[in-house]
């Protein structure tokens, strides 16, 4: 049996992409292409997620409740986020949809990205290809921005983000 050596940040990105796909059939190569992550990394990620109980044994069904539990209680400890210097990029956390409709904060957060139009404190995305993947997939963008709100936000923002994640994933 393969040993589990811990999750990696892009594992969360891949799992959230599967959540966006819902019950439609998908292939690992399609995930790799849409996320700009190598096929071998997607394959290894699916193996880690299977061992962690976040995806089924056949690696085709997302264990939604387990993923939500991890996002709510473990994400900020396993993959903490820190706001850095002001940069140009793509808005994230409470500055991106859907939370930007309900929450207004003094600080703006962005994923550093040369093609971004917003300015704010830089927050490293879970994978460097996240901004490019989010341009192609607005639903994935919402999930990843909500995930960053779980990593960065205050109590109220985390509660709103978790409720929005539940609505979108379940």
Q: Which domain holds residue 162?
A: 86-169
Same domain, 100 and 66: no
In a domain, 39, yes or no: yes
Q: Are 145 and 153 in contact (CB under 8 A)?
A: no
User: At residue 17, does pLDDT exceed 80?
Assistant: yes
| Residue-by-residue DSSP string for 91-138 | E-GGGSTTGGGT---SS-EEEE-TT--EEEEE---SSTTHHHHHHH-H
- Give the per-residue pLDDT at 109: 96
Least confident among 22-26, 32-36, 133-137: 22-26
In the chain, the number of structural domains is: 2
Same domain, 139 and 97: yes
Last residue of a domain, one of 51, 78, 105: 78
Asked, as a colleague might, if the bond just before 46 is cis with ω within 30 of 0, I would say: no
In a domain, 3, yes or no: no
Higher-confidence position of 102 and 140: 140
- Give the per-residue pLDDT at 4: 67
Same domain, 45 and 98: no
pLDDT digits 0-9 by tens, 144-166: 999 999 999 889 999 999 999 99
């Amino acid at each position: 049996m393969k040993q589990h050596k811990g999750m990696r940040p892009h594992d969360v990105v891949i799992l959230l992409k599967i959540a966006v796909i819902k019950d439609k059939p998908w292939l690992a190569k399609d995930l790799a292409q849409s996320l700009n992550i190598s096929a071998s990394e997607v394959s290894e990620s699916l193996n880690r997620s299977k061992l962690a109980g976040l995806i089924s044994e056949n690696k085709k069904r997302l264990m939604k409740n387990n993923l939500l539990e991890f996002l709510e209680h473990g994400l900020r400890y396993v993959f903490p986020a820190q706001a850095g210097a002001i940069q140009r990029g793509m808005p994230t956390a409470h500055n991106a949809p859907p939370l930007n409709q309900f929450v207004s904060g003094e600080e703006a957060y962005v994923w550093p990205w040369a093609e971004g139009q917003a300015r704010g404190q830089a927050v490293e995305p879970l994978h460097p290809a996240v901004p490019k993947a989010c341009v192609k997939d607005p639903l994935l963008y919402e999930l990843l921005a909500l995930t960053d709100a779980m990593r960065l936000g205050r109590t109220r923002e985390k509660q709103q983000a978790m409720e929005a994640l539940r609505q979108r994933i379940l």
